């Protein structure tokens, strides 16, 4: 047993007497530990079942390997190039064996887009937009200053140029230099036939300012029909010296405009005459028909007739003929 201990001590004390290996080609300490020969007895025979690692030598080899790597950097670079070439050969072998290169191409494309976008992919301010906004247009105009427009898909920056800030897709506008009673009758008909249409009206019974009517409706076809119908009626009026406009069951809105304070089933206006011509016509008619059930209201530019519808219809037709005869004198 004492000989065995002596052999172990001798082995520990003489590690530096062995030849040193090249530190660059040196094997890792783990490999050296795995390959270390078993301890021998002094007489050269191996001691079975005992293998002692030399920790001091392992640490020395590790320090020598690190120092060699710093002293010969070109060697490490060469090894790196060899590793890259080996990896390239492996990838080429994968492609040759049937692997697709598409995943690599996709990865490269995604990386480019997620980073700085190519110049061609940046949106251009001057590029044409997928804009399908409808154009606004002039419906018509007459020699005496009546005009009609249709505005479609108005630009948001121009919405405040109208009298009401309604967010409708289409806006119709009719203007005239003068205000007439018949304009209210036409508007009454439009509102009755198209309940969804909204409006904004500027009208003065003394015609001291211009007539402005704005109609708002999301349905373009409804609005176009309403504007054209209104424009047609006011345009025809300009070609006739005396006109009569009759409505059955006038709406509360219409009776309010004309300040009719009693319930009536009919209303009419006779236009194209002045205040005193209206008084003359009413006086003649009442004297001839004392039992009439119609009432009169005299205005600067028209005569208002209201009451029971059949009576209003008969009176208005008779007074129109009388007014035309007076005009011809």
Q: What is the DSSP annotation of 168-214?
A: -SEEEEEEESS--HHHHHHHHHHHHH-TT-EEEEE--TT--S-EEEE
CATH number of 240-329: 3.30.70.1710
Mean pLDDT score, 264-290? 95
Q: What is the pLDDT of residue 316?
A: 96
Are 133-239 and 240-329 equal in CATH topology? Answer: yes
> Are the beta carbons of 245 and 227 closer than 8 angstroms?
no
Bigger pLDDT: 146 vs 125: 146
Q: Which residue has the tokens 């010969």?
A: 72
Strands 147-152 and 137-141: antiparallel
| Rounded Cα gap, residues 229 and 100, in angstroms | 70
pLDDT at 253: 92
CATH architecture of 133-239: 2-Layer Sandwich (3.30)
What's the pLDDT band for 154 if we cut at 50, 70, 90?
confident
What are 296's two structure tokens? 């009169």
pTM of the model: 0.58
Q: Tell me what pLDDT residue 104 has.
A: 38
Torsion of Cα atoms, 112 then 117 then 123 then 126, to 10°: -130
pLDDT of residue 208: 87
Alpha carbon distance 18, 291 (integer Å):
149
Q: What is the pLDDT of residues 100-117, one digit of tens each?
A: 444 433 333 322 332 333
In the predicted model, what is the mean pLDDT of the chain?
75
Give the pLDDT confidence of 41-99 residue by residue, as tens digits. 555 555 555 556 666 666 666 665 555 455 445 545 555 556 556 655 554 554 445 44
Report domain extents, the chain: 2-96, 133-239, 240-329
Identify the pLDDT of residue 38. Answer: 53
More confident residue, 306 or 328: 306
Mean pLDDT for 145-159 is 87
């Amino acid at each position: 047993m004492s000989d065995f201990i002596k052999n172990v001590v001798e082995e520990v004390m003489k590690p530096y007497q062995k030849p040193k290996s090249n530190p660059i080609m040196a094997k890792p300490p783990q490999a050296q530990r795995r390959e270390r020969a078993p301890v021998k007895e002094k007489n050269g025979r191996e001691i079975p079942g005992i293998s002692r690692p030399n920790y001091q030598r392992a640490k020395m080899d590790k320090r020598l390997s690190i120092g060699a790597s710093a002293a010969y950097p070109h060697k490490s670079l060469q090894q790196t190039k060899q590793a890259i070439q080996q990896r390239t050969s492996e990838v080429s072998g994968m492609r040759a064996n049937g692997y697709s290169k598409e995943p690599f191409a996709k990865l490269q494309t995604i990386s480019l887009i997620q980073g700085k976008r190519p110049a061609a992919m940046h949106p251009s301010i001057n590029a044409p937009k997928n804009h399908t906004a409808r154009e606004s247009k002039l419906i018509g105009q007459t020699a005496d200053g009546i005009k009609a427009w249709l505005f479609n898909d108005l630009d948001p920056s121009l919405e405040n140029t109208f009298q009401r800030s309604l967010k409708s897709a289409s806006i119709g506008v009719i203007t005239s230099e003068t205000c007439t009673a018949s304009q209210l009758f036409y508007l009454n008909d439009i509102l009755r036939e198209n309940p969804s249409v909204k409006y904004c009206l500027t009208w003065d019974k003394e015609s001291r300012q211009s007539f402005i009517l704005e109609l708002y409706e999301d349905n373009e076809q409804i609005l176009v029909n309403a504007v054209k119908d209104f424009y047609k009626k006011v345009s025809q009026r300009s070609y006739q010296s005396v006109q009569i406009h009759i409505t059955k069951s006038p709406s509360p809105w219409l009776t309010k405009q004309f300040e009719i304070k009693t319930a009536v089933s009919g209303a009419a206006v006779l236009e194209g005459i002045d205040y005193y011509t209206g008084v003359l016509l009413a006086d003649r008619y009442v004297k001839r028909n004392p039992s009439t059930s119609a009432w009169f209201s005299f205005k600067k530019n028209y005569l208002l007739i209201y009451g029971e519808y059949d009576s209003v219809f008969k009176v208005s037709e008779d007074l129109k003929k009388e007014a035309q005869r007076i005009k011809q004198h």
